[in-house]
Amino acid sequence: MTPTKKIYLYDTTLRDGTQSETVSLSVMDKIVITEKLDQFGIHYVEGGYPGSNPKDKEFFEKGKRLRLKTAKLCAFGMTRRVGKKVGEDPNMKALLSAETPVITVVGKSWDFHVTEALRTTLDENLKAIRETMDYLKKRTEEVFFDAEHFFDGYKRNPKYAMKTLAAAVDGGADWLVLCDTNGGSLPSEIARIVREVRKATRIPLGIHTHNDSEMAVANTLVAVENGVTQVQGTINGYGERCGNANLCSIIPNLALKMGCEVIPPGQLEELTGLSRYVAEVANLGHWLHQPFVGSAAFAHKGGMHVSAIRRHPGTYEHIEPGTIGNRRRVLISDLSGRSNILSKFQEKGIQFKPGDPAAEGILEQIKDLEHKGYQFEAAEGSFEILVRRAMGTHVPFFELKGFRVIDEKRSEGEDPIAEATIMVKVDGTVEHTAALGNGPVNAMDNAIRKALEKFYPELSEVELLDYKVRVISSGGTGSSVRVLIRSGDKETEWGTVGVSHNIIEASWQALVDSIRYKLWRSRGIIPGEEG
């Protein structure tokens, strides 16, 4: 597909994104994310508001030493304060001290906000916009005007909203960015208003939308269809209230479906990695069901679906997942059919002869286990172990001779003390050891590692990344529980599962599966090739 037009990407994860209830970034976090965005091919990275807090001020000081190849760093600020001379406003001085090639200024374009929020006259607001843009344009390379609440303002007083844009143009604005700040506009409204603005000015237009009506991505795309050439948003849609427009959805839609030139060739495959990197730096879980980049975005569970994608992926996938760095996943559950099992075998490199009855046996076993509460969709390690057992190729690496866990609380004000004792047998040698932990599962984890690391030193590389417990049958404190463990080493991650009425036993099952899966990987044993 030949690109129809070039779209410039403006990322505001480091400012608008951090206004999310769940996002907090250190200065170093912001630096490494900036570098990652630059590597990906983002054109503009908004670093923050240098006049608002010490963290942003420090970021821009460190930002001066960054050697960005693609992105231009942007400082963000507001129009001069009401009644002040622009040259005497400390915010103007702070913006210029950041020494960024781009300064973005937000100004009121809704008359209601001018009179109620700024508590000034409509003419004074226009004057503030014009003077601010003029002052900054004479002292920096590019100046963008973010017309705050533009669509709400236009719907109520279109003449005044357009006057604010004209004031910014008079002051030298290089770009006019139309903002749906409250996130309440519909795509039809965005399209109509952008068309009308496009007719009235030759200055390039940008779009900045929020997701309060679940329309941010749609509103952004329809704005591009009607003449906008700069798109503002955040990675993973982070932002205040319901978030900002999600660049992880906008970018592939623009590039793959609208034929726009967005990022350098070959970089689109890095999108999923970028999404997960930013989530990791922000210390947030990655959204499983996020379009395009989520782990479930190309996950198939229904047997009919899997059977179809085995013939042609286009039957149930709107794009090839590899184009944006994601991958196809076939889920194993009680909804599975034979196609799911065969696809999962193929994905894991497990070889079965055509018509092998073991495949059907594994399917029935999985359905029986899931009826008891097991879940293999996020437990690929346990799934492989199940298959090995069914194939008769199970290599246990060690034998449990017994374990005991003691959780003791000696007084009301003291934390409990957890201790685990374990006995295992490896190649005829019995190892008996004990370890403490901050809880019974942690103590058990420490004890089994301590017992096995002398035989298998690679276990020191394994980290327990996540631990989840879910009640799966109603019965009060006697309910069955499912334990899901996420483990990882320096190369990859894997999940394992355990189910029992006893939470310690369920945890033990998942821990042991995790350790055995690691040993199979590190010892070079490939499914279906043992012996």
Determine the topology of domain 8-281 in CATH: TIM Barrel (3.20.20)
Compute φ and ψ for 131, nearest 5 degrees: -65, -40
* Nearest alpha carbon to residue 89 among 38, 132, 129: 132
Cα–Cα distances in Å, from 184 out to 70, 110, 149, 425, 472? Answer: 33, 14, 10, 64, 39
C-alpha Rg value of the chain to the nearest Å? 29
Contact status, residue 52 vs residue 80, Cβ threshold 8 Å: no
Q: Is the pLDDT assigned to residue 339 strictly greater than 90?
A: no
Question: Burial code of 161-189, b = ≥16 C-beta within 10 A, e = fewer?
Answer: bbbbbbbbbebbbbbbbbbbbebebebeb
Yes or no: say if 208 and 195 are a contact pair by the CB < 8 Å rule: no
Higher pLDDT, 77 or 374: 77
Task: Check whether 335 has a pLDDT greater than 50.
Answer: no
CATH number for the segment(s) 398-455 = 3.30.160
Give the number of other CB atoms < 10 A from CB of residue 475: 10
Residue 204, judged by CB atoms within 10 A of its CB (0-12, 13-18, 19+), counts as middle
What is the per-residue pLDDT for 125?
A: 97
d(CA 322, CA 258): 18
Average pLDDT score, the chain:
88
CA distance 52 to 420: 51
pLDDT tens across 394-444, in order? 788 999 999 999 988 888 888 888 999 999 999 999 999 999 998 898 899
Lowest mean pLDDT among 2-16, 118-132, 245-259: 2-16
Higher pLDDT, 312 or 272: 272
Q: Which residues does residue 206 pair with via DSSP β-bridges, in sequence order?
A: 177, 230
**pLDDT band (50, 70, 90) for residue 297:** confident
* Ranges of CATH 3.30.160.340 domains, the chain: 373-392+463-531
- Distance, in Å, from the CA atom of 100 to the CA atom of 59, rounded to the nearest integer, reads 12
- Render 154-185 in DSSP notation, one character per residue: HHH-HHHHHHHHHHHHHTT-SEEEEEETTS--
Q: Write down the pLDDT at residue 491.
A: 82
- The stretch 292-321 carries a mean pLDDT of 77
The dihedral built from the CA positions of residue 425, 428, 429 and 430, taken in this order, carries a sign that is positive
Q: From the CB of residue 39, how many other CB atoms can be counted at a distance below 10 Å? A: 15
Q: Which amino acid is at 421?
A: T
373-392+463-531 topology per CATH: Double Stranded RNA Binding Domain (3.30.160)
- Tokens 């008359």 correspond to 111
At residue 162, φ and ψ (nearest 5 deg) are -70, -30
pLDDT at 367 over 80: no
Lowest mean pLDDT among 134-138, 274-278, 305-309: 305-309
User: What does the pLDDT look like over 251-279, one tens digit per residue?
Assistant: 999 999 999 999 999 999 999 999 988 98
Q: At what angle do helices 187-200 and 216-225 cross, to 10 degrees?
A: 40
**378, pLDDT greater than 90:** no
The pTM assigned to this predicted structure is 0.71
With bands split at pLDDT 50, 70 and 90, how would you rate the model's confidence at 309?
Answer: low
What is the token pair recorded at 34? Answer: 């900036």
The percent of residues in the chain predicted with pLDDT above 90, rounded, is: 65
Looking at the predicted structure, is the pLDDT value of residue 520 above 60? Answer: yes
Task: Name, of 54-58, 354-358, 465-469, the range with top average pLDDT.
Answer: 54-58
Rounded alpha-carbon distances, angstroms, from residue 428 to 398, 404, 431, 433, 459? 9, 21, 10, 16, 20
For residue 478, what pLDDT is reported?
Answer: 61
How many CB atoms within 10 Å of residue 410? 9
Tell me, what's the pLDDT at 310? 66
- Residue at token pair 């076993």: 365
Region(s) of the chain under CATH 3.20.20.70: 8-281
pLDDT computed for residue 528 by the predictor: 39
